């Protein structure tokens, strides 16, 4: 990867050797197209029909899951990006090229601009839109699912505005998107919170889209399990009380009576890696074993 600093700014252009290098870098950052997922304004689906939620994005960033979103629509949009850029350039009488940008103020973020002009002071986000989204652009607006993406591009580039270019059936519409400082503040806070989840392996809060609606058979079995768990709760509480009483009576010694043995064992404690100064700046994630999966059954809040 080659980097080029834009003089007089905190911005850096990123030039990647190939798609694999770009994908690896993007995995370690939040991209502008991730914003609508984190902000909850999109319903993007993977090829298996799952809606991409913050939890799925979290798993993707950590390499716990790979979600295939490559389909005819995404391939068409990518193929039509260059023809759309050519039309846009003619409309604004300027030259643009795709460019990835980082800003040292936002170390967790990167943006892949569909076009940055040769004087590094104007950018465009190109969408090969459906007719419905194109009509929204005709009204001088940006569809909600794209708004956070454009505002993140403004946040990272620190431009006062970015062009949103809607392209449909060979017609291009330019919507000038102004910087929205109030929204950017909210966006920055949510992106930081999400990245904190990624860096500290804390699952983001689940959304309604993280659950699949099941049938009556599933509900019957889940109800049975729930009732069993509720029956066990007082027994588990009673077990804890009896354990504490028996330990007290054993006086910290191995004990027996009749055919019952009560044995005290000691195991080494876990290593507190955070307390070791020599490895403070070492990334230990590559030494982490496979994640464990757990399930919990509970009632939904009314």
As a whole-number percent, the residues of the chain with pLDDT over 70 amount to 94
pLDDT at 72: 62
pLDDT at 42: 83
Confidence check: pLDDT of 221 > 90: yes
Confidence check: pLDDT of 68 > 70: no
* pLDDT range class, residue 77, cuts 50, 70, 90: low
pLDDT at 73: 63
Query: What would the pLDDT profile of 112-154 be if each residue is shown by its tens digit?
Result: 999 999 999 999 999 998 999 999 999 999 999 999 999 999 9
Structure tokens given for 174:
């330019």
Mean per-residue pLDDT over the chain, rounded: 90
Query: What would the pLDDT profile of 36-60 be if each residue is shown by its tens digit?
Result: 999 998 877 776 778 889 999 999 9
| CA distances for 153 relative to 85, 95, 146, 156, 188, angstroms | 17, 19, 11, 5, 12
* pLDDT range class, residue 181, cuts 50, 70, 90: very high
pLDDT at 43: 79
Query: What would the pLDDT profile of 236-281 be if each residue is shown by its tens digit?
Result: 999 999 999 999 999 989 999 999 999 988 888 888 877 888 777 7
Q: Read off the pLDDT of each residue in 11-34 and give the average, rounded to a whole number.
A: 91
The answer for residues whose C-beta is within 8 angstroms of residue 207's C-beta and 6 or more apart is 40, 53, 54, 55
Comparison of pLDDT for 73 and 233, the residue scoring more: 233
What is the spatial distance between Cα 57 and Cα 195, in angstroms, rounded to a whole number?
11
Query: What would the pLDDT profile of 161-176 be if each residue is shown by its tens digit?
Result: 999 999 999 999 999 9
Reported CATH class of domain 2-208: alpha beta
Confidence check: pLDDT of 285 > 70: no
Question: Within 10 A of 79 (CB to CB), how many other CB atoms are there?
Answer: 10
Angle at 211 between CA 205 and CA 212, to 5 degrees: 170
Confidence check: pLDDT of 65 > 90: no
pLDDT at 28: 92
Q: What is the pTM of this model?
A: 0.78
Report how far apart the first and last C-alpha atoms of the chain are (Å, whole number). 51
């Amino acid at each position: 990867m080659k980097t080029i600093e834009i003089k007089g700014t905190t911005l850096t252009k990123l030039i990647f050797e190939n798609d694999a290098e770009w994908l690896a870098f993007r995995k370690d950052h939040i991209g502008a197209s991730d914003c609508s997922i984190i902000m909850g304004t999109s319903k993007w689906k993977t090829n298996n029909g799952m809606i991409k939620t913050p939890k799925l994005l979290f798993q993707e960033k950590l390499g716990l899951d790979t979600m295939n979103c490559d389909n005819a629509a995404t391939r068409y949009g990518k193929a039509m990006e260059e023809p759309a850029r050519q039309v846009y350039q003619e409309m604004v009488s300027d030259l643009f090229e795709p460019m990835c940008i980082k800003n040292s103020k936002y170390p967790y973020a990167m943006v892949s601009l569909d076009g940055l002009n040769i004087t590094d002071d104007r950018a465009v986000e190109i969408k090969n839109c459906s007719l419905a989204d194109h009509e929204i652009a005709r009204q001088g607006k940006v569809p909600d699912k794209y708004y956070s993406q454009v505002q993140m591009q403004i946040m990272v580039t620190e431009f006062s505005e970015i062009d949103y270019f809607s392209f449909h059936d060979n017609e291009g519409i330019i919507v000038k998107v102004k910087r929205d400082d109030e929204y950017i503040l909210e966006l920055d806070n949510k992106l930081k919170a999400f990245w904190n989840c990624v860096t500290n392996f804390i699952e983001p809060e689940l959304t309604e889209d993280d659950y699949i609606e099941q049938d009556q058979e599933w509900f019957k079995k889940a109800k049975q399990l729930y009732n069993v768990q509720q029956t066990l709760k007082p027994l588990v509480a009673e077990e804890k009380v009896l354990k504490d009483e028996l330990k007290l009576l054993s006086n910290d010694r191995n004990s027996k009576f009749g055919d019952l043995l009560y044995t005290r064992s000691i195991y080494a404690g876990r290593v507190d890696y955070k307390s070791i100064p020599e490895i403070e700046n070492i990334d230990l994630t590559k030494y982490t074993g496979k994640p464990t999966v757990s399930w919990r059954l509970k009632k939904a809040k009314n």
